[in-house]
Structure 1
Amino acid sequence: MIDRVLDPMVYTSSYPNPTAYTFLSHHYKWKIGSRNVMNFLHKVQLHGKDDLYRKGGGHTFFVPIDHKTDDYKWENIDGYIIEGHVVPNMVLFTRPTQRNFIFETAANGDYIYIVLSLVTSGGKDFVKSHTILGNSNHKKGEVLSEIVKANIPVANGVVHLIKQPLAVFDRELKPFPYLPVFYKVASDPNLSHTFNIGRRNRMNKIFKNESALYTFFVPTNRAWRNYLNYTHHEQGQILKRHVVVSDSRLSMAKLAILSKNGGGEATLNTLDGTIKLTVTQKNGTYSMTWNNRSIELSRPDYECSNGVVHVLDDVLADVRTSSDTSHDSERVSFWGALKNLVL
């Protein structure tokens, strides 16, 4: 029983009885503004917790949005943390739920035990997690997260969107944990040709912008062997296709999820326009395909302080049409604006 009429959230009839998992995997069909939950969906799928969100009955699901959450926190979300975002067998709408009352989550085992409570402060609603039992990877203590979109009804309960993940604490800073993308590429002699292309075309400067995160598919020196007769400009145009600027790192695991959710292809906005990749995982090994061609991965997932580098033993270009100015799609206007900032 609730004490008010709920705002309509779904604007499509494609899902007559959507579960919490339907919401996670098709959140863009709900009227939730520009909010995105792809990072949390990726973690749910990665740790095999899909059934927790598909389970029938009535449950409460707290779902963190992607906005401005430290990558360190996403990296530390595991199965226990995901369970700590679900109150099973209770449907908790914000207004009638008693404040500061403890609710047991699905993370209620002998080694990890997390409880939640609702708190109101300054006219805003928050959810507070309290890790009562933990270990070296799950610290004891409390985390407070603002509820930014409450009371989204689903067939198996209610979903509340929250500002940051629960039960995950801030990074304990250590000196120089990672190199920036620029210095990773500059310091690796096996990537010197890519670095020199970026230098000649004034691309390297963009990696010094600390307000964005970069995913850089970096060809090795050997990978460029079939493109050495191209002009510096042509090589620069090809290299732009290897850089994605966004608000999150695109790890191989995330690219595999994007490929799966995209019908077999992940569509990426690069500095040269959109490209489509297919990333799959088998027995712990990732494979990548571009333009119907298998791309050999020399070293994926080299984490940097401002992004991630995937070292390739290939180039995302067709040798036979390298001088052709056509691309996977029209160039995005973003590159032109960004280039004006750095030149």
Structure 2
Amino acid sequence: MLRRDALSWLCVWLWLWLTAAWPGAAAARAPSIAERLRDDPDLSQLYALLERTPAANSTLAYRQATVFAPTNQAFQNFERREIREDALMLYHMTNTAHTLEQLGGSVLSELDGSPPLWVTRRRRPGASEEVYINNALVLAARSNFVTQNAAGKQHVLHVVDEVLTPVTTSATAPAQLQLYNPDAFQFLNQSENFDIGKHRVRSFRQRVYFNKKESVFEALGKFTFFVPVDEGFKPPPRPEKIDQKVIDGHVVPGHVLFTRPTPAGQAFDTLAFGDMLRVSVSLAKESDGKIYVKSDTILGDKSHGNGVVMAEIVHPNIPVKNGVVHLIHRPLMVVDNTVKQFLEEKEDGPLYKFYEVIMDLGGDFMQRITNMKELTLFAPSNAAWTDAYINKLLQDKPRLREILDLHLVEERLPVEEIVKNNKNQLFQVPTAIEHKNLYFNVIPGDHNYTLTVEGGGVNATVIQPNIAATNGIVHIIDRVLGVPYTTVKEKLATDPMLNQTFHLGETDHFNEQLGDKSKRFTYFVPRDLAWKKLEIRFPSTHKKLFMKDYNYHVRQILERHLVVSDQAFTMANLKLRSQNNTEVLPTIRDHLRIKVKELEKKPDEKHQPPGYVIEWEGEKVTVFRPDVECTNGIIHVIDSVLLKERDVSVTGSNAAAPLLLSHLVMLVTAWLLL
């Protein structure tokens, strides 16, 4: 070995001396890999590592090579671990030359044991293809540098944005266990001897032995393994639930999924995906940098319930001979927590800010969740609580309690049931606050759908659905419901069921006033279905309203629906005010005379219908969505337009008057000129 190292250094020294003695020789050839690294100030740390690694210089002198060069910034971000410098350098090299186009699914590194470097290609919409080596992105514009060594062997240099980290044994491991290319089973079997920080995986290993599933981790090919650490096996009944199918649900065949190149939300079938049981996994990436894996039991059985289980990846991207291993904080597929326990489970988990708000509030909200046999909780994500408009809310305890109740539904509602109920009508369910419903909308996509939920005027997107608990389901949403953040104008512009009213209001700049934050509006807004009903009932009237010549009269009709006062009126308030007499509200046009009555809930109705009806000029108008709160008022979405046919027929003749007058003037002028 010493002779080989000495010979390598002699060859390198001779080559440098020759190029110094005859500068023309160096000018006639392309720079070597070493020279390229030396001359690029952003690659100086790898060059220094190369200088200290004789074996790497030997490869460059005699063989083909591909070098993956991390930037200096990558080294600064690198978490120093028990990795020998020569091992780190050799893991960034192969003894074959590959341009980016020539790279296959993996290449063998120069490190002892030839552990593979895994190659992932990803094409984002509207962007060029990205190439990743393990978890590092290849910087394509600085890569594909091709040159030759003195022996005519081809070399290729690629620049990457992360240091490639091999799996290494710890300093205390016995010499005979210095494994550089373990498969997943060897990693699991000798986990105490590998450098994985404080984590231990004995409990999962014991369940693998007990269920005779060693072959799953020894198999040749491409796999992704999710391995729960020991801390995740509490409380005590949990280990017994790790059976053969659950172990299979921790393994993805045919894919080596490193965290960065794997698209968030894309589902991958596990070994537990078959005819009788169907389990897939996907990654979820939080704004705080945490990465979670979700198992989704799409089709369960008596031992494995349907739903999603989330686990944080606490030590990601451990490359092994047959794929990659991720250590996770708890087992997948196992549903043994209540909703309360899920919220409490991890102090820095995906809902820790929501949990803190609940605990700071005090009261019986958490106790209520604990006592409920069936519930669905729409839980705002950690990021949802960082918006500035939330700060004032946190100081108002009574209001905050109302807000929390708005997120609670007293029945189990998986996403599939919501989508099913939403096919023929917009689905709504009552919350823990009387007369406050949640309204759902399903937005179809190319390959999937997006589910939104509205409560108290706030429209939120479900970003993590169907997290299963023993007494219910948790859906993680991206906003806090019931805390308005849009004006009346902005709400109209963005609500998918109010398009027609918004469109009519745009034609004569009627909507401009609705953004005024110094006023308080109560706007009775006909939903799109209301305009459809009007078209069926008064087709000619409907047609005229959407003609340009009738803009002025459209404005008059919209003004009838808009109340401007020193306060905005909720439905409960209007009901109280009109109990004995007709309530007269000051609209922009004149006055709106209405009575508001509350509908009785039918005993056989599982989901309560809209709770109010408006009586106006002998008609009963159902309030589809009451009390949609905005920053400058309230919207009540109604099922009919407050309009009589005479409103347009009379004003229509008036609209024609200026035109007739102009024609008369032209005729008189022509007659006088004769």
TM-score by length of 2: 0.25
**Rg larger in structure:** 2
* Higher percent of residues as helix: 2
TM-score by length of 1: 0.48
Which gives a bigger RCO, structure 1 or 2 (Cα 8 Å, sep 6+)? 1
